[in-house]
Amino acid sequence: MRVREILKKLYCSKCNAVKEVNHLRGLFLEVKIENENFIKKCEEQAKKIFHETITAVPHSFLDRSVPSLYHIEINSQCNLKCKLCGAGNISALQVQNGIMNLDYFRIIIEKIKNENSDAIILPFGNSEPFLNKNIYDYIKIIKNSGLRCTLSSNVNIFSNIERTLMLEPDTFIISISGFTQDIYSVAHRGGDINIVKKNMKMISDIKYKNNLKTNVIVNYHLYNYNWKEDFDAAKKWVEELGFVFAPNCARSISMEMTLQYVRQLEKKRGASSSELPFSIELPQSFYDGLESLIVRPDDIFDMYEHVPSAIICPFANFETYIRSDGSVQLCGCCSDKRLVLAPKYLHVSHEDIQRRRRWHPFCEVCLRTKTYLYFNMVDFQKWDSMVKMRLQGVPSDRLLCGGA
> What's the rounded Cα separation, in Å, for the pair 137 and 147?
15
Cβ atoms of 212 and 168 closer than 8 Å: yes
Out of 116, 126, 226, 354, point to the residue binding ligand SF4 (CB under 6 A). 126
Binding of residue 362 to ligand SF4 (CB under 6 A)? yes
Q: Where in 65-104 is the site for ligand SF4 (CB under 6 A)?
A: 78, 80-82, 85, 87-88
313 binds ligand SF4 (CB under 6 A): yes
Q: Which CB sits closer to ligand SF4, 167 or 313?
A: 313
Q: Verify binding: residue 172, ligand SF4, rule CB under 6 A.
A: no
Between 327 and 394, name the residue whose CB sits nearer to ligand SF4.
327
Written as one string, the DSSP assignment of 94-107 is: -----B--HHHHHH
Within 27-46, the residues that bind ligand SF4 by CB under 6 A are none
Stretch that binds ligand SF4, among 58-66, 203-211, 359-367, 377-385 (CB under 6 A): 359-367
DSSP state of 225: T
State yes or no: residue 366 binds ligand SF4 (CB under 6 A).
yes
Helix (H) or strand (E) holding 248: strand 244-249
Specify the DSSP class assigned to residue 276.
P
Tell me the one-letter amino acid at 290. Answer: L
Site membership for ligand SF4, residue 290 (CB under 6 A): no
Indicate whether 363 belongs to the interface with ligand SF4 (CB under 6 A). yes
Nearer to ligand SF4, 214 or 285 (CB): 285
Cα Dmax for the chain: 68
> In 3-state terms, what secondary structure has residue 194?
helix
Using rule CB under 6 A, residue 136 touches ligand SF4: no
136/315 with CB nearer ligand SF4: 315
Burial grade of 354 (CB within 10 A; 0-12, 13-18, 19 or more): buried
Of 367, 378, 399, 400, the one binding ligand SF4 by CB under 6 A: 367
Q: Between residues 145 and 159, which has the closer beta carbon with respect to ligand SF4?
A: 159
Using DSSP, state whether 221 is helix, strand or coil. strand
Interface residues for ligand SF4 in 236-265 (CB under 6 A)? 255
- Report if residue 316 touches ligand SF4, rule: CB under 6 A: yes
Angle in degrees, CA 300, 383, 125, rounded to 5: 75
> Which span sits near ligand SF4 by CB under 6 A: 130-138, 210-218, 320-328, 358-366?
358-366
Per-residue x/- track, 375-394, ligand SF4 (CB under 6 A): x-------------------
Taking the complex as a whole, how short is the minimal distance between the CB of residue 210 and ligand SF4, in angstroms? 27
Of the CA atoms within 13 Å of residue 107, those in its CB half-sphere come to 9
H/E stretch holding 220: strand 215-222
Q: Is 120 or 253 the residue whose CB approaches ligand SF4 more closely?
A: 253
- Piece of the chain touching ligand SF4 by CB under 6 A; list 68-76, 105-113, 364-372, 382-390: 364-372
From the CB of 363, what's the least distance to ligand SF4, in Å?
A: 3
Alpha helices in 32-180 (DSSP H): 36-51, 102-115, 135-145, 161-166
Angle between helices 102-115 and 135-145 (to 10 degrees): 20
Scored b (16 or more CB within 10 A) or e, 84-116 reads bbbbbbbebbebebebbeeebbeebbeebbeeb
Residues in contact with ligand SF4, total (CB under 6 A)?
A: 24
For residues 183 and 394, which CB has a smaller minimum distance to ligand SF4 in the complex? Answer: 183
CA 175 vs CA 148, 209, 221, 309, 332: distances in Å: 20, 23, 7, 32, 17
CA atoms of 266 and 183, how far apart (whole Å): 33
Between residues 149 and 312, which has the closer beta carbon with respect to ligand SF4? 312
Q: Which is nearer to ligand SF4, 178 or 394 (CB)?
A: 178
The one-letter amino acid at 169: P
Residue numbers of the site for ligand SF4 (CB under 6 A)?
Answer: 78, 80-82, 85, 87-88, 126-128, 154, 255, 313, 315-316, 330-331, 357, 362-363, 366-367, 372, 375
